[in-house]
Chains A and B, each alone.
Chain A
Amino acid sequence: GQQLNQSPQSMFIQEGEDVSMNCTSSSIFNTWLWYKQDPGEGPVLLIALYKAGELTSNGRLTAQFGITRKDSFLNISASIPSDVGIYFCAGQVNQGGKLIFGQGTELSVKP
Chain B
Amino acid sequence: DTAVSQTPKYLVTQMGNDKSIKCEQNLGHDTMYWYKQDSKKFLKIMFSYNNKELIINETVPNRFSPKSPDKAHLNLHINSLELGDSAVYFCASSQLTALNYGYTFGSGTRLTVV
Contact = CB atoms under 8 A, between A and B. Distances in A.
B68 interface: no
Nearest to B97: A95
A40 B108 contact: yes
Given A95-B96, A96-B31, A98-B48, A45 B42 contact: no
A33 B94 CA distance: 13
Interface stretch (B12-20, B77-85, B99-107): B99-107
B71 to A, nearest CB: 14
25 contacts: A33-B101, A37-B41, A40-B108, A41-B107, A41-B108, A42-B4, A42-B107, A43-B43, A43-B105, A44-B105, A45-B102, A45-B104, A48-B100, A48-B101, A50-B99, A50-B101, A96-B50, A96-B55, A98-B45, A98-B56, A99-B33, A99-B103, A100-B45, A103-B41, A104-B42
B92 interface: yes
Nearest to B99: A50
Interface of A: 31, 33, 37, 40-45, 48, 50, 86, 88, 92, 95-96, 98-101, 103-104, 106
Contacts of B106: 42
Contacts of B92: 42
A107 to B, nearest CB: 13
A100 B45 CA distance: 8
Contacts of B107: 40-42
B56 A48 contact: no
Closest 5 A/B residue pairs (Cβ): A42-B105, A101-B43, A45-B102, A98-B45, A96-B96
